Amino acid sequence: MSASAREAASDYSKGIAPHPRDFATSHGLLAAVALAGAVLLVAAELSPLYTVVVGALETERRSVSGGSSHGYALVLVALAAAAMAFGALRGARGAALALVALGAVVLLVALAIDAPKTRRSSGLPEAVAFADARARAGSGLSLELAGGAAVLLAGALMLALGAPRPLARGSRDG
pLDDT confidence of residue 76? 96
pLDDT greater than 50 at residue 156: yes
pLDDT greater than 50 at residue 109: yes
Distance CA 171, CA 153 (A): 29
pLDDT greater than 90 at residue 15: no
pLDDT confidence of residue 119? 77
Q: Average pLDDT, stretch 14-37?
A: 75
CA angle 40, 115, 117 (to 5 degrees): 115
Closest CA to 141 of 48, 78, 71: 48
DSSP letter (8 states) at residue 90:
T
Distance CA 103, CA 71 (A): 18
22-160 fold: Butyryl-CoA Dehydrogenase, subunit A; domain 3 (1.20.140)
CA 105 to chain centre: 10
pLDDT interval class at 104 (50, 70, 90): very high
pLDDT greater than 50 at residue 132: yes
Q: Which amino acid is at 1?
A: M
pLDDT greater than 50 at residue 83: yes
Do 107 and 150 contact (CB within 8 A), yes or no?
no
pLDDT tens digits along 46-55: 999 888 888 7
DSSP letter (8 states) at residue 9:
S
pLDDT confidence of residue 161? 86
Distance CA 156, CA 116 (A): 27
